[in-house]
Structure 1
Amino acid sequence: MFSERRIEALPADVDADGVKIYTISASGAPVDPLPYLARLQAMKTARAALSWRETPAFAICHDGASARYLTLGWWGNDNEMFVAVAVMQPEGWVEDLGRYSFCLWDMEVMWHERQAFVKHMYGARADLAAYRSDRLI
């Protein structure tokens, strides 16, 4: 059954490339981002064709009810949102969109990010700094 989950935006300096980072907690407890940050870096490195410092992007560190989920979203091709999802399993982080995806709680962050992208990046003048400072909550 649906119930609200704790969502927080982390400080801007958590990611050196400017990726906005959010946390979501199924239990209501604060989320420790440290278990996610190395995997986030690996996910960005795997997409080396992107200049993360120049790409509007966000990540969600989600302590779910049954596992840790890390969703990386970024904007490209003018108005498309791309996503990659990694899930912590006993064998380590698994990235397989055939098995795992983002969930309905993540979509609250995604909706905010859509609104921020339209407001700051998809108008007459793109403003990446304004996009990055526009955070949910």
Structure 2
Amino acid sequence: MYKPRKIEQQDNWLDESGVKIYTITYQANILDQALYKKALISIKQSIGIPWKNTAAFTIFHEGELYPYLILGYWQNGNELFVRVYVHINKHWIEDPAQFSFCLYDMEVMWNERNIYINTIDKDSPSLDAYQNTRLPLESQSALIE
């Protein structure tokens, strides 16, 4: 059954290469980002694209059952590539046959789509504008009812 989740993003939530960070929490708490940030570094290295020149975002998602790390990045003009990792038994795994993003993540993706259109997919693209643009998330302040 759908229940609103706490979705947050702050102006200073960028990793060292400019990937925007969002959090989604199952409980009405503040997410400890340390576990996710460590994984994000190795995940990005394994993908091997020039992150400092790529419009990208990540979602650190405290799921009901597991922690999820969703990494979205724009390539081929206007395609959003999405990788989903789940933390199980002290390991981050990627298994598209078992795990995917969920409807809460899609709210962030919709906002990122709009930001991408307004900052990158235009005559004068600006990665800096993409990285520094925040659109209001409807549930940014909404806590679980």
- TM-score class, shorter-chain normalisation, is over 0.9
1:121 and 1:131 in contact (8 A); partners too: yes
| Identity between Structure 1 and Structure 2 (%) | 40
Correspondence for 1:39: 39
- Matched ranges for 1:46-85 at <5 A: 46-48=46-48, 50-85=49-84
2:13 and 2:21 in contact (8 A); partners too: no
- Give the C-alpha shift of residue 10 in structure 1: 3.8
Correspondence for 1:20: 20
User: Do structure 1's residue 3 and structure 2's residue 3 form an aligned pair?
Assistant: yes
2:13 and 2:22 in contact (8 A); partners too: no
The 3-state SS of whatever aligns with 2:42 is helix
- Per-residue deviation, residues 19-51 of structure 1 (Å, max 9, x unmatched): 000000011111111110111111100111x10
Deviates more, 1:72-81 or 1:96-105: 96-105
Deviates more, 1:11-20 or 1:27-36: 11-20
2:115 and 2:135 in contact (8 A); partners too: no
Computed over aligned residues only, the root mean square deviation of the Cα atoms, in angstroms, reads 1.2
- Give the C-alpha shift of residue 6 in structure 1: 0.4
The 3-state SS of whatever aligns with 1:124 is coil
- Give the C-alpha shift of residue 127 in structure 1: 0.7
TM-score between both structures, scaled by the size of structure 2: 0.89
Amino acid at match of 1:100: F
Q: 1:20 to 1:39 in 2, by over 3 A?
A: same
Q: 1:65 to 1:136 in 2, by over 3 A?
A: farther
Segments of structure 2 that go 5 or more residues without pairing to the other structure are 137-145
The 3-state SS of whatever aligns with 1:2 is coil
Amino acid at match of 2:128: A
4+ long deviations beyond 2 Å = 10-14
1:8 and 1:136 in contact (8 A); partners too: no
- Give the C-alpha shift of residue 135 in structure 1: 2.2
TM-score between both structures, scaled by the size of structure 1: 0.94
Q: How many residues align?
A: 136
1:10 and 1:23 in contact (8 A); partners too: no
The 3-state SS of whatever aligns with 1:12 is coil
User: Do structure 1's residue 103 and structure 2's residue 102 form an aligned pair?
Assistant: yes
Amino acid at match of 1:32: D
Q: Which has the higher contact order (CA 8 A, sep 6+)?
A: 2
- Give the C-alpha shift of residue 93 in structure 1: 0.9
Instruction: State how far apart, in whole Å, the 2-side matches of 1:69 and 1:13 are.
Output: 17
